[in-house]
Structure 1
């Protein structure tokens, strides 16, 4: 048999194995996800609530986030498209099936209250609400709800729910986008918006979203 034929068979076999591996990932299973998420609880807590850490690294709430969004972030950590020294080792411990299972597990949990908005002033919350719901066209800042949906409850796998997310985490991510330290969102929309926001704007919108509550139906 010629080398050309053997090479062609090898390519076909390789493609078949790749397709088989891709098909081997089943829809995420929350029960399996609970077991796979055992190492996640140290930071994200058993109920997926995360933690607001003033002047430290806040750990985001995962409970109630879209499963597709959680999957995408874990894949991005594994691939290096998103950088975080704390998360990358844990993401690399999970295989493709475990990522789907962990995402399914956290997505079916009820949304928990957030921290970091308790001490915000009325003026700060008013500014945060403006940026969230109407934006600031004088500064070319698009409203957050344009992508994250009314009430900030999220839209699909690209735009996560940010209502009832910890202020410390929102603040950190906005600064990361502003400083070109994060760029794993569609067309780097967040980077363009964050660069137009002052530090006070970031504090205000983070505090406002942290102070919002989300019901089981996803409404404020």
Structure 2
């Protein structure tokens, strides 16, 4: 087995392990979640203040779109902010008073919404070409697999463990890759994303973020 084959096997096995260990059941009420998203948890801002009225996010603030994302994934991320596995003072403050059922309800609401169109406004063709190569093919000499190895066809997500990243705001993608790279995000139990992020240069992160933002989030 050569190095390229070994990396592919590692990615696949890591994905299977992650899926087997982190699966949770969906049990949220979208109607209740909609009300909670507009009111907030009583101490922080409502979800729509940062993520928009339709969950479309905000590129300027690096707030991701969350509409149409996997329900279990959304629940797990909010839970991670509560427990400190993900560190973001704004998010932690805005979800800390929600109970388990409320987190499930909010996740179910946003999962029920339609994903937004492509968020990209980048017209730098060379940057997008470099990003396309990394996202679609990877760079095996540097042990960088293509994003679709885990995030699925067209990078639109597979399950609660591998979210859709196509059409996501470039500012947010860049922020999160750097969080993995710097060790500030620890929600990947098998450290697969952390390992990949550490191999990416700043220029590569910029290119990957720009290209992923240019891909339609849904059909």
Q: Sort the TM-score into its range (normalised by shorter chain).
A: 0.7 to 0.9
CA contact (8 A) 1:52 1:114 kept: no
CA contact (8 A) 2:26 2:71 kept: no
CA contact (8 A) 1:158 1:186 kept: no
Give distance in 1, aligned partners of 2:82 and 2:217: 30
User: 2:58 matched to 1:51?
Assistant: yes
1:142-157 correspondence runs (5 A): 142-157=145-160
Aligned to 1:137: 140
CA contact (8 A) 1:76 1:184 kept: yes
**2:167 aligned to 164, 169, 177, which one?**
164
**1:189 aligned to 186, 189, 192, which one?**
192
CA contact (8 A) 2:67 2:111 kept: yes
How many Å apart are 1:93 and its aligned residue?
A: 2.0
Q: State the Cα RMSD in Å.
A: 1.5
Change (3 A) 1:121 1:76: same
* Bigger shift: residues 96-105 or 206-215: 206-215
CA contact (8 A) 2:164 2:217 kept: no
Deviations 1:149-173 (A, max 9, x none): 0111111111110001000000000
User: 2:130 matched to 1:127?
Assistant: yes
Q: How does the TM-score come out when normalised to structure 2?
A: 0.82
CA contact (8 A) 1:49 1:113 kept: no
How many Å apart are 1:120 and its aligned residue?
A: 4.0
Deviations 1:157-209 (A, max 9, x none): 11110001000000000011111111212311111001110111111111111
User: Greater Rg, structure 1 or structure 2?
Assistant: 1
Query: For structure 2, which runs of at least 5 residues remain unmatched after alignment?
Result: 1-24, 39-45
Q: How does the TM-score come out when normalised to structure 1?
A: 0.82
Give distance in 2, aligned partners of 1:140 and 1:146: 13
Change (3 A) 1:50 1:92: same
SS of residue matched to 2:199: coil
Give distance in 2, aligned partners of 1:84 and 1:159: 21
**1:97 aligned to 98, 101, 111, which one?**
101
CA contact (8 A) 1:67 1:104 kept: yes
Give distance in 2, aligned partners of 1:65 and 1:119: 23
Aligned to 2:7: none
How many Å apart are 1:26 and its aligned residue?
A: 8.3
Corresponding pairs, count? 188
Give distance in 2, aligned partners of 1:124 and 1:183: 29
Change (3 A) 1:186 1:212: same
